[in-house]
Amino acid sequence: MTDIPEIVSAEKWQQDRDELLKAEKEATRTLDAIAARRRRLPMVKFDSYVFDTSAGPKTLLDLFAGNRQLAVYQFMDNGPDDFCQGCTHFTNNVVGLATLADCGVSWATVSNMPLAQIEAYKARMGWTMPFVSSHGTTFAQDCGASYFMLSVFLRDGEDVYRTYSTTARGVDRLLFVNNILDLTPYGRQEDWEDSPPGWPQHPTYG
Cα–Cα distance, 201 to 197 (Å, whole number): 10
Give mean pLDDT, residues 166-178: 94
Contacts of 81 (CB under 8 A, 6+ apart): 117
Do 105 and 154 sit in the same domain of this protein?
yes
Task: Please give the distance of CA 30 from its chain centroid, rounded to a whole number.
Answer: 20
Both 61 and 111 in one domain: the answer is yes
Domain annotation covers residue 147 = yes
Mean pLDDT, rounded, for 137-162: 97
- Whether residue 35 sits in one domain with residue 120: no
Residues in contact with 89: Cβ distance below 8 Å, sequence separation at least 6, in sequence order = 175, 177, 205
- Can you tell me the mean pLDDT for 184-188? 93
For residues 47-53, give the mean pLDDT: 96
Query: What's the confidence (pLDDT) of residue 206?
Result: 65
Whether residue 98 is found in the same domain as residue 160? yes
What are the φ and ψ backbone dihedral angles of 129, each rounded to 5 degrees? Answer: -70, 155
pLDDT of residue 1: 57
Residue 188 lies in a domain: no
- Asked if the structure places residue 204 within a domain, the reply is no
CATH code for the domain of 69: 3.40.30.10
Instruction: Average the pLDDT over 38-49 and give the result.
Output: 96
**Does 181 fall in a domain?**
no
Mark whether 85 and 141 lie in a shared domain.
yes
The reply to whether 57 and 26 lie within a common domain is no
For residue 41, pLDDT beyond 60: yes
Neighbours of 13 (CB within 10 A): 13
21 and 91 within one domain: no
Considering the domain architecture, whether residues 25 and 105 belong to the same structural domain is answered as no
The answer to whether position 206 is within a domain reads no
Residue 104 included in any domain: yes
Is residue 197 in a domain?
A: no
Q: 113 and 35, same structural domain?
A: no
155 and 65 together in one domain: yes
Considering the domain boundaries, does residue 180 fall inside one? no
Query: How far apart are the C-alpha atoms of 201 and 193, rounded to whole Å?
Result: 8
Q: What is the pTM of this model?
A: 0.92
Domains held by the chain: number? 2
Q: Which domain holds residue 26?
A: 10-39
Q: Look at residue 205 in the predicted model and tell me its pLDDT.
A: 74
Provide the percentage of residues in the chain whose pLDDT is more than 70.
99
In the predicted structure, residue 85 carries a pLDDT above the cut 80? yes
96/129 same-domain check: yes
- Can you give the pLDDT at residue 139? 97
CB 104 within 8 A of CB 66: no
The amino acid present at 83, given as its one-letter code, is F
Q: Are residues 96 and 159 in the same domain?
A: yes
Q: What is the pLDDT of residue 2?
A: 75
